[in-house]
Structure 1
Amino acid sequence: MLIPGVLLLFLMPLSATGTAQLCGSGSNYTTNSTYQSNLAALAATLPTNASSSPQQFAAATAGQAPDAVQALTLCRGDFANDTACADCVAASFQHAQQTCPNDEAATVYYDYDDVNNQRPGCVLGFSGDSDFLSPAAGLTENGTLFEAWNPGNISADATITAADVHKLLTVTAQDSAAEAARRYSTAVMDAVPTLYSLAQCTPDLSAGDCLACLQRLIGMVNATTSMRQGGRIFVLRCNIRFETFMFFDQPMRRINPSSITRAPPTGIKAWIIAICLASAVALAAFCFMVYCRCLRGRIRKRSVRLRERRTIKLHGGDHELVWDMETGMLSGFSFFEFDQIQEATGNFSEENKLGEGGFGRVYKGHFLQGMEIAVKRLASHSGQGLAEFKNEVQLIAKLQHRNLVRLLGCCSQGEEKILVYEYMPNKSLDFFIFDERRKALMDWNRRLSIIEGIAEGLLYLHKHSRLRVIHRDLKPSNILLDNEMNPKISDFGLAKIFSPNNNEENSTRRVVGTYGYMAPEYASEGLFSIKSDVFSFGVLVLEILSGKRNSGSHQCGDFINLLGYAWQLWEDRRWIDIVDASLNSFLPKTHPTEIMRCINIALLCVQENAVDRPNMLDVTAMLSSKTMILREPKHPPYFNLRVGNEEDTSATQSCSINGVTLSIATAR
């Protein structure tokens, strides 16, 4: 594994070869070892695999743990032929083994050229880490980070500005993310000097992950480095570069600078310049006087809008986000104009509508570059929605995990408050598990993978994120599925930040969430903690395994909800009866102990007393181990409530409303 604090970095000036390598010093392999043999096997096959791929990208694993080696390589998108790509990858392996001898991990950025880096290069990385090839694993780590800058600055009389450089890189990054086949894009900005840019991701990244990776790199380009004559920033999964010379084949897009103020040509007499300037000033003054009344209202409106666009402050608790609209970016996401969103969604047409909730409506959209997005538009009448909008922007902008939905940006313009997310083509979990036809697509391995993914996302929120977050509204409709059916937790409008040193319960008089998934102490007394999310997770697991909602007596035998039904079957040692009938055909091929363990874990999560429930670190450990001995669960809440029991009508109501998020209830 590459360790940022102990990297060996070899840099050459940008005007010569730009080859660099990062040598991980975590551990070494011995000569003639199995690890070295596995690495040699990859060095022999990966160049051919990359050159024969349409994307000129390859990833592979050689050997078995603990000597397994994982590697990936990517050639730049403008390689003229396959042979050159293969040669570059082979040279990268040789370079790594010469400069990082016996290191188990290394990353090489290899410029396959001689002068001015005008021929394309490639990137190579290998490691013994088991998650090295996971696309999400390399998005935020710094172990493969490399940056280099041309020592020369853009001249003082140039028309290009730092904002122009950011605009060029941002548009190039958006084009690269939208390029589904190769995740590669180039552009040119016609200014003085002419500026060229390139952005590329590994093609196994989703559009959202690619854009987030590139925007993270763009955020490292500051006011000083943006005025250099060239620069590049790499991580293993994505890279950006800009230069004052064309270092690639013909650019794919031309971009106009935001403003151009050209210096007057030399040799023109001063009195001619003075006359021209005086005439221009007089003409401007005349036009202003003539149209002053007509434009006054529009100027005032435009001024208000400009102030709103330049700086947006979103307050919440002890946190404040200040949005600098000069760059249009904050922590890896963008500010969008309302007309951009309007155009992307076909003016919020009904055919693009994906759903509707208490916040407002959700639409599918397409940017001009082809990127698909999901747009959540705040309903103008929604008082609670404005607070949730601020809360979600404040939270999810600082959270990045492969099992959390990615917020690409937002729009705050007048009354319009809009959130823009990566588009999830498979909609939400409830779309599958509660539909008689679609649930057949959810075999046991897929359901288990979804359960594990949700658990990993919750563990990140509770323990590993920069902010410690209690979600408070975990349910199937808030679990979105990407094109590979990976789960992503969404909708952080009701989430709460808590102190990492405080695992005690917090209290509120405003109970928010969805009945049926609320922990009993929260629904009845307004007490919430990380154990509240654990309870919701347990309900989710039972629903995934059974294909039944946690409500509806017709689905749960004699009980008013799924919890009581599952508990009774567990007590009677008939736990298999709760399993979704569509899984029956898979049961002979699946060790039934795995399903029984999941039911056991779910029942541990929904125990009535919060102190008895495991935390998410315990849950992920139990899910990942087939040998860990599990405790016997204690009973869940409402387990003794049966259909027709008139004594507990209020309790029945509090756990049978399953689809609606309530946010103005008062704790009893």
Structure 2
Amino acid sequence: MASLPLSSSACLRLFSVLVLVSLQFLAVRSQQYHFCSNDRGNYTVNSTFATNLNSLVSSLSSLQRNPDGFYNVSVGETTNMVNSVSLCRGEVAPVDCLACVSAAGEEITRRCPNQKEAIIWYDSCMVRYTNRTILNVMEMRPAFYMANGNNFTGDLEGIEMALRGLLEGLRDRAGEGGVRKKFAADRFNAPSLPTLYGMVQCSPDLSEQDCSSCLTRSFGDIPACCDRRIGCRLHTPTCFFRYETYRFYDATAAEETVPPPPPPPPANETSTDGEGKKNGYGEKVVIFVFVPVAIIAALLITSFIVFLTPRKKNPTTRKHETSEVTEEIISADSLLFDFRTIREATDNFSPEKKLGQGGFGTVYKGMLRDGQEIAVKRLSRDTGQGETEFKNEVLLVAKLQHRNLVRLLGFSTKGNERLLVYEFVKNASLDNFLFDAVKKRYLDWGKRYEIIGGIARGLLYLHEDSRLRIIHRDLKASNVLLDEEMNAKIADFGVARLFDIDQTTQRFTSKIVGTLGYMPPEYAMHGQFSFKTDVYSFGVLVLEIVSGKRNNWSRDGEDAEDLVSLAWRNWREGTLLNLIDPSLRYGSRNEMLRCISIGLLCVQEKVANRPSMALVVMMLSSHSLALPVPTPPAFSMRHVSRFDLPSSDNLNSRATDSRER
């Protein structure tokens, strides 16, 4: 009897089942390292501890799916209690995580047949058990590492700075993960340097401080184990890190912001006989894979690809279909607020609800019917924006999501009314604290240093990490808001512009927007702007935060000295301590002086000499990183005052030059 042909959907289901089983088998059987501890004693086969351990291992195969990939199981009581912790790599799917944990539990009892404490690491998970308390405890030993056999070449100092900045940035992000998942992965790329991919993770039961400490101490082992190697991983019982020059993780699951290119094959991969394999790391990795299963999986995949390969389509059509599937869809209608709702929330834009006013409009506090507090910017009616242009700008800002950026909730329009609805940030703007003799006491050095770092990370996101590369163009103290915990949030993207080319390219505009005192001279005088325009503004802001002084600009008096000039004079004369805010009685003077140096580096006259925000973040996160000596700054106030500029310090004309986006 002839067999009936399977339909495409039936083939798809059958293929999915077979491949899932095969790939799970391949994934979970890739053991990296195990350690059997003799310090905690041994147990006998028929003992109560053995019974409890067997019960615990059996329970690992029936755990409920947990998106956090963390499991804590205990069996028994008192001295015979067995405590276990299992942790999967942050981007591993729950079904693969459970398969890995189950296989690791069985394997560790086989590898360590009578030890009361043991740990095993697979590529996707870690499982450990012991007869002592291990939850909420940071532990650095036992540990193992694997280093790639190839070395970095080229600018080794720049690579070291980039790597340190990447890992320390990931460490900070992982530590902020709360009690659910302390995991972060991302990439770093800069001109003339190799792209670096990094991943860090802590056991989520660790405190933020312990997570940071565990990773910091692990990073300290890099010179001993992985010096100049293009790849390295190091595992401890409670944290791990890895970096490579190719993407080794699922970028989508790890929430990497920019899809990187596919990884190249290892340059010096070699095989060894027996159960081991050398994978370019020069370290033996034990792999339990039966060759027939691997062959079957490969054949299944190849056959299925051939079976389902469609006839050739027009390349343009395929490209269009791909963009429709992958592009994040945010519609204007999904962000639209009813105008009457916003008017009611602000008591008809009552003066008592007014939070502030700028060149582009007035900001009001409001409360929606559900109790949510909002901030509403009522744009000036003479902005000249049409409804389509306004919606496009809203959609631009709505796609920006970062903890150091104020979140746009939506917008509203009616006639010539244009309203922007933002999250309400409790403590208003930085200038309200920084330049107030009483309120500035709430800004001790620790808070100011965190604010500087938050602003830097927010700008780095705008410049490099968001899909929409953006220049803010009006960064200043009044456009940095402070939330309830005094975390910095960059606000006001009214003059921000897309910038879809590399960091070194300059653009020109015929109309200047922004605030005098924060604008570099090449922009104020010639309309020339780039990412380094924001870097200059950041430098001025850093000097203001450290000194507590405004960078005042005045046309009056040839001898008037602005803050940038004052900082440079103190640098030349070796009296930088004179620049520090007298209210900062406590805190690291070295950090304060370092920040002044970073501020001066950002306001240098030559655009090419100013650091990128990626480098600034590294400078702030690594005190061991030597800073370049700054060159003379651009004394923009003195230069700009020669030109016939509008009397207002705020230049609010919108740029219309066709060369600007």
TM-score (structure 2 length as normaliser): 0.52
In 2, Cα distance between the equivalents of 1:471 and 1:610? 17
1:607 maps to 2:604: yes
Residue of 581, 591, 594 corresponding to 1:594: 591
Which residue of the partner structure matches residue 630 of structure 1? 627
Structure 2 equivalent of residue 650 of structure 1: 641
SS of the residue 1:354 aligns to = strand
TM-superposed deviation, 1:432: 0.9
Q: Contact 2:429/2:481 (CA < 8 Å) preserved in 1? A: yes
Q: Cα 1:35–1:457, aligned 2, differ >3 Å: closer, same or farther?
A: farther
* Residue aligning to 2:454: 453
The structure-2 alpha-carbon separation of the partners of 1:39 and 1:447, relative to structure 1 and needing over 3 Å to count, comes to closer
Q: For the residues of structure 2 that align with 1:548 and 1:656, how far apart are their CA atoms?
A: 22
Q: Distance in 1 between matches of 2:201 and 2:359?
A: 52
Contact 2:515 2:651 in 1 (8 A): yes
**Code of the aligned partner of 2:618:** A
How far, CA to CA, are the matches of 1:456 and 1:3 in structure 2? Answer: 23
Structure 1 contact 70–129 (Cα < 8 Å) conserved = no
Letter in 2 for 1:31: R
Aligned to 1:135: none
Taking a change above 3 Å as real, the CA distance of residues 388 and 442 of structure 1, as seen in their structure-2 partners, is farther
Distance of 2:538 and 2:349 partners within structure 1? 34
SS at match of 2:544: helix
Q: Which amino acid aligns with 1:70?
A: P
Are 1:30 and 1:36, in contact at CA under 8 Å, matched by a contact in 2?
Answer: no
Work out whether residues 511 and 653 of structure 2, in 8 Å CA contact, stay in contact via their aligned partners in 1. no
Contact 1:359 1:385 in 2 (8 A): no
- Consecutive unaligned residues in structure 2, runs of 5 or more: 1-87, 99-120, 140-177, 183-199, 208-234, 242-250, 256-326
Equivalent position SS for 1:401: coil
Which fold has the larger relative contact order, with Cα–Cα distance below 8 Å and residues 6 or more apart in sequence?
Answer: 2
CA distance change for structure 1 residues 422 and 539 in 2, over 3 Å: closer, same or farther?
same
**Residues 31-50 of structure 1: per-residue CA shift (max 9 Å, x gap):** 358999245899xxxxxxxx
Tell me, what secondary structure is at the counterpart of 1:510?
coil
Aligned pairs for 1:543-562 within 5 A: 543-551=544-552, 559-562=560-563
C-alpha displacement of 1:485 = 0.7
C-alpha contact (below 8 Å) 1:469/1:497 kept by paired residues: yes
Whether 1:31 and 2:128 are equivalent positions in the alignment is yes
Q: Using the TM superposition, give the Cα deviation of residue 416 of structure 1 relative to its aligned residue in structure 2, in angstroms.
A: 2.3
Taking a change above 3 Å as real, the CA distance of residues 71 and 660 of structure 1, as seen in their structure-2 partners, is farther
Contact 1:434-1:548 at 8 Å conserved across structures: yes
1:420 equivalent in alignment to 2:421: yes
Check 1:374–1:358 CA distance in 2 against 1; reply closer, same or farther (3 A cut).
Answer: same
Q: Which of 597, 609, 613 lines up with 1:616 in the alignment? A: 613
Contact 1:389 1:493 in 2 (8 A): no
1:374 corresponds in structure 2 to 375
Matched, 1:489 2:490: yes
Match of 2:331 in 1: 323
**CA deviations over 1:261-290 (Å, ceiling 9, x no partner):** xxxxxxxxxxxxxxxxxxxxxxxxxxxxxx
Name the CA distance, whole Å, in 2 between partners of 1:3 and 1:520.
Answer: 46
- List runs of 5+ in structure 1 lacking aligned partners: 12-23, 43-57, 74-103, 106-125, 131-139, 145-318, 642-647
How much has 1:498 moved relative to structure 2? 1.2
Q: Deviations over 1:339-393 (max 9, x none)?
A: 1101111111111111122222211000111110001112323326979844541
TM-score (norm 1): 0.52
In the alignment, the residues of structure 2 paired with residue 553 and residue 513 of structure 1 have an alpha-carbon distance, to the nearest angstrom, of 16
RMSD: 4.4
Q: CA deviation at 1:415?
A: 2.4
Q: CA deviation at 1:322?
A: 7.5
CA contact (8 A) 1:638 1:651 kept: no
Partner deviation per Cα, 1:156-210 (whole Å, 9 max, x = no partner) = xxxxxxxxxxxxxxxxxxxxxxxxxxxxxxxxxxxxxxxxxxxxxxxxxxxxxxx
Change (3 A) 1:611 1:129: same
Q: Whole-Å Cα distance in 2 between the matches of residues 640 and 343 of structure 1?
A: 44
In the TM superposition, what whole-angstrom CA distance separates every residue of 1:518-554 from its partner, at most 9, and x where no partner exists? 1111111111111110000000000111111111579
Q: SS of 1:533's equivalent?
A: helix
For structure 1, which segment, 392-401 or 531-540, has the greater mean C-alpha deviation from structure 2 after superposition? 392-401
2:485 partner SS:
coil
Q: Give the match for residue 111 of structure 2.
A: none
Supply the AA of the counterpart residue of 1:650.
S
How many residues get paired?
A: 392
Looking at structure 2, the residues matched to 431 and 420 of structure 1 have their Cα atoms a distance apart, in angstroms, of 22
Go from structure 1 to structure 2 and tell me whether the alpha carbon gap of 1:381 and 1:649 turns closer, same or farther (over 3 Å shift): closer
Structure 2 counterparts to residues 3-402 of structure 1, below 5 A: 3-4=90-91, 7-8=94-95, 28-29=125-126, 31=128, 37-38=134-135, 59=179, 69-71=203-205, 128=239, 142=253, 323=331, 325=333, 329=334, 334-383=335-384, 389-390=390-391, 392-402=393-403
**Is this contact kept in 2: 1:516–1:655, CA < 8 A?**
no
Give the match's secondary structure for 1:404.
coil
Change beyond 3 A, Cα 1:71–1:408: farther
CA contact (8 A) 1:359 1:382 kept: yes
Task: Tell me if structure 1 keeps the 8 A contact 2:518–2:536.
Answer: yes
Identity, % of aligned positions: 45
Deviation at 1:10, TM superposition (A): 8.8
